[in-house]
Structure 1
Amino acid sequence: MTEASTAKIPDVITYDPEAARRALPFDPFDPDFHADPFPYHRKTREESGRAFRTPGGIVAVYGYEEAAAVMKDPRFGWGVNPMVADQFVENPASGESGRILMFMDPPDHTRIRGLVSKAFTPKMIADLRPKAARYAEELLDRALVESPDGRVDLQQVLSRPLPAGVLSDMMDIPEHYHPLFFANTMESGRGLDPGFTLTDEQKTGRNGARDVFINAGIEMVAARREAPGDDLISELARAEQEGDRLSEWELAMLLMNLLAAGFGATAALIGNQVYNLLSHPAQFAWLRANPDRVPAAVEELLRYDSTLAMVTRTALEDADVAGIPVRAGEYVTVMMAAANRDPAAFDDPERLDITREQTRNLGFGHGIHFCVAAPIARLIGQEALAALIRRDVRLDESRRVERWPGISLRVIGELPVVLGPVGDADPV
C-alpha cells in the first residue's frame, strides 16, 4: 500500500449545517428531500443547469453525460484531504488506518481491484443464481407461514435476509454474525455522507458500526488462513498477481467493504425497486405477464431511483467540468440520482417504464469505481423480483413506508406489504 493509504487519520471535516447547505446543491437536513428528492433535482437542473458551482464552492453535476465524464476521468479521484480522511477505517487492534476499496485511487485501487477480479469469476457468480432463486422462494414461503394474513415488512422478510443468505453461501459467513451485520448496516451506510452533515454522535455510531464489520473481517481472515475452504474469502486470500497478494489488513478492509455493501446496499436496492414497482401497479402487472423482462426491469428501476444517489470526487489536478474550471484539490459532487433522470439522456425520464429499451444508468457508478460486486447485486435483485411477481403483492396502505435519512444512499427502513401465495393474483 502507498503512504497515502496507510497514513494516520488527519483532521476531519466537522459537523456544520450551514456550511453543508452552502456546499451542497440541496438541503441535506430536509425530511421532504429525503422522502422524495427528485422534484428538487428537476427544479435545480432547470434553474441552475447541468453543472454549476454551489455557494460553498463545490461543483455539482446534474447531467448524465457530464456525470459519466467526471466518473471516468482520471483527473478526478479521492486524493488526500479531510473529506476522504473522514472515511478512513482503523484497525481496532493495531491502530493502523487505511481506505477501503471504494475510496482508493490508483495505483492502490488498480492493484486491489486486480486481485479482487481474480476471485470474482463468472462461474462463481453463475453458480449463485439458482441458490438466490431458491432462497427468495423459501423466504417468501416462510413469511406467509409466520404471518398468515400476508402483512409483512418486506425489508425484514426478503430484502435483508436474501443478500445475507447469498453472501453467506458465497463467503461462508457464520450465522452468528448476521444479527450484528443487520444491526449496523444503517449506521455504516449513513457514514458515506459528507462529514459536515454528520454530528459527532452520528460519526461515533458510524465508526462503531464499521468496527463491527472490520472485526468480523479480521476474524474471518484469520479463520480462513488457518483452514482454507472453497469460498470467496479463501479465494481472495489465495488470489495472486505477479507475486503480489492481499495483506491481512487489506483483506480485512476489503471484506468490510463487501459485507457492508452486501448486507446494506443490496438490501436497499431490493427495497427501492419493489417499492417503486408496487407504486406503479400497471407496471407490476405487465412484468407478471412478461417475466423474461425482469433483468431489464431491474435496470430501469435502478435508473428511476438510484440506490447510490451521489458521490464526491476531488480534482487531482487542474481540470474542468462542463466548461467550469476546477482547481486541484477542489470537490465535485456527482448527483447520480439526478443524472439518471436527465431529459437529455432519457425520453420522459420522470416516468417509470420497465418496457424502456434504454437500460443504461449510473446506479452502480461508472469508470474505475464501477461497483465490483454489481453482477452479484444485479443477480440478487433479479431473483427477488422474479419470486415476487409470481405472487400477489401490494403495498400495505394501512402502514407507512419508512425511509432512512441518508443522502448518499437511498434506503427504505420498513416496507409494509400484503403478500399472497404463489399464483394468488388477479388475472392480467
Structure 2
Amino acid sequence: MKTKQISKKNQDLLLSAPEFLKNPYPFYEEMRSANPILKMSAYKYSGWYVTGYDEAVTILKNNKFQNRTPLPPTTRKYEELKTIQDNMLVFKNQQDHKRLRMLMSKGFTPNVIDGIRPYMEKIALELLTQAKVAKQMDVVSDFAFSLASHVIAKLLGVPKEDRNLFREWTIELIPTIDFTRSRMVLANGNDVIKDFMMYFKGLINNRRQQPQQDFISQLIKDEQEGDRLSEDELLAACILLVIAGHETTVNLISNTILTLKNNPEQLVLLRENPDLIEPAIDEVLRYESPTQLTARVAAERVEVAGVTIEQGEQVYIMLGAANRDPKQFKNPAQFDITRSPNPHLAFGSGSHFCLGASLARLEAQVALQTFLESVECFEVDSEGVQWRKLVGFRALETLPIILECEK
C-alpha cells in the first residue's frame, strides 16, 4: 500500500504551528486524510505517525512493537535522568515490564482506590471552599494540581510539608519526554531528577526503618520478601507515580472544566443528571485526551494495514487523533457526555494499559462532582487561558475562572 506524502514544509507546520497547541485536531485530520499510518518527520523525529483508531489498537496490542526510552541508549549525557527513565515501568518491555507491573499494581487495588475516596472528597471540598471565598481561582494550580499533590502524597506517605516540591519537579520533567525538548530542558530535567532521587532515597531509608501503610512501604516489603526490585527501580517507581499521578490527573480535571464550559448544553445536562459524571469523564478522556502521543519501536519487520514497518523504525501513536477517528466514533468532533459505547484509547491498550487509570478516573470524578455541587456559576477568563507548549500532552498552563456570574 502506497502512502500519500505531505510536503516537508507542511510536515514541519503540522505539529510545530502555534495553532496546533490551541487546537491540534484539524492537523490530525490532515494527517489521517493522507494516510492513517503516515511516514513523516516532525521536530526532527522521523517515523510512522498513526492517526487511525484500528491501526493504533493493532500496534498497541502487538508485542512486535516495543516501548522505547526517550533518551537514546548511546547517550552519555544526562546520566541520572537516563538511569531513572530506563528503569520506569512505562519504558519497560516483556518480562521486566510484567514483573514491575505486578509489583506496582499492589498500590492500585480496588481496596486502595476506594479507601482514598473520602480523602479526595475532603480535599476537593476544602480547595473549592477557599476558592469561593476568593471568588476566583486558577483551576490548574489552585484546584487540579493541589488535589493531585494531596492524593499522591497520601499514597506515597510523603509528609504534607513536602508535597509542594512535586509541582516544580513534575513541570520540569514532563518536557524531557516531549518532542519539543531542548538541551536546556534535558539539563534541567537531569538536575531535577537528582533532587527527586535524593529526596526519595531519604524517604525509602526512613520506611525501611519505620514501615507505614503506603506505596513505598509495600514495595520495600515485596523486595524484602524476595521479589526482584533494584534500588534504581524502586526510585523510578516512586518518581513515576509522582509524575504520572500529577500529569494525567491535572490535565484531565482542567480539560474537563474547560470543555464543559465550552459546551454549555452538556454542562446543563450534567447538572440535571449527575449520574452522567462517569461517562462525562470518559468523554473528556476521548475528546481532550490528557496524553496525546505514545511511542513504540518495531522489534522486527511488521506489516500493519498494508504498510510495511521495518525493524528499528519509530512509531508514534497519536492517541488524541485515534480518539477522533470518524471510522470508530460517530460525530467525533462533538462532545457528548451520553456517548456509549466509548472505547477511547486515552489510557492506551493491551499489556501497557495505564496502571493508574482507575485512580485518575476516580480523582476526576470526585473533582467534577464536588465542583458541580460547590460552584453554582462560573466564568472563564478566556484571555488568561494558556496551553503548555507540548506535543505529547493536552495540557493547560493556566485556566483562570471567576466563581460568580451576573444573574
Give the alignment's TM-score, normalised by structure 1: 0.85
Deviations 1:280-325 (A, max 9, x none): 1111111111111111110001000111001111001111222111
What is the Cα deviation at residue 79 of structure 1?
A: 5.1
In the alignment, does 2:20 pair up with 1:36?
no
Counterpart among 157, 161, 173 of residue 176 in structure 1: 161
> Which AA in structure 2 matches 1:272?
N
Does the residue aligned with 1:186 lie in a helix, a strand or coil? helix
> Which AA in structure 2 matches 1:39?
P
When structure 1 is superposed on structure 2, of 399-408 and 387-396 the one drifting more is 387-396
In the alignment, does 2:58 pair up with 1:69?
yes
Q: Is the 8 A contact 1:53 1:60 kept in 2?
A: yes
Counterpart among 166, 169, 190 of residue 151 in structure 2: 166
In the alignment, does 2:39 pair up with 1:53?
yes
What is the Cα deviation at residue 103 of structure 1?
A: 0.8
Q: Is the 8 A contact 1:213 1:256 kept in 2?
A: yes
Does the residue aligned with 2:378 lie in a helix, a strand or coil? strand
Q: Could you tell me how far apart the structure 2 residues matched to 1:143 and 1:217 are?
A: 32
Higher helix share: 2
> Which AA in structure 2 matches 1:32?
E
Deviations 1:380-425 (A, max 9, x none): 01101101112224333363201110111111111011225xxx99
Alignment of 1:252-291 (within 5 A): 252-291=235-274
Alignment of 1:359-398 (within 5 A): 359-390=342-373, 391-397=375-381
Q: Could you tell me how far apart the structure 2 residues matched to 1:74 and 1:341 are?
A: 25
Over 3 Å counting, the alpha-carbon distance change for 1:294 and 1:79 in structure 2 is closer
Partner of 1:7: none
Which 5+ residue runs of structure 1 have no aligned equivalent?
1-20
Over 3 Å counting, the alpha-carbon distance change for 1:398 and 1:29 in structure 2 is closer
Counterpart among 244, 249, 257 of residue 227 in structure 2: 244
Q: Is the 8 A contact 1:190 1:409 kept in 2?
A: no
Partner of 2:93: 105
Q: Could you tell me how far apart the structure 1 residues matched to 2:234 and 2:392 are?
A: 25
When structure 1 is superposed on structure 2, of 179-188 and 389-398 the one drifting more is 389-398
Deviations 1:237-267 (A, max 9, x none): 2136993242322111110100111123311
RMSD (CA atoms): 2.7
Q: Could you tell me how far apart the structure 2 residues matched to 1:300 and 1:129 are?
A: 22
When structure 1 is superposed on structure 2, of 293-302 and 271-280 the one drifting more is 271-280
In the alignment, does 2:277 pair up with 1:294?
yes
Counterpart among 151, 175, 182 of residue 136 in structure 2: 151
Q: How much identity, in percent, do the aligned residues show?
A: 32
Q: Could you tell me how far apart the structure 2 residues matched to 1:129 and 1:112 are?
A: 25
Which 5+ residue runs of structure 2 have no aligned equivalent?
1-7
Does the residue aligned with 2:177 lie in a helix, a strand or coil? coil
Give the alignment's TM-score, normalised by structure 2: 0.90
In the alignment, does 2:394 pair up with 1:410?
yes
Partner of 1:308: 291
Q: Is the 8 A contact 2:260 2:267 kept in 1?
A: yes
Q: Is the 8 A contact 2:379 2:402 kept in 1?
A: yes
Deviations 1:183-214 (A, max 9, x none): 122221111214xx422112212222333333
Counterpart among 117, 120, 130 of residue 142 in structure 1: 130
Over 3 Å counting, the alpha-carbon distance change for 1:82 and 1:264 in structure 2 is closer
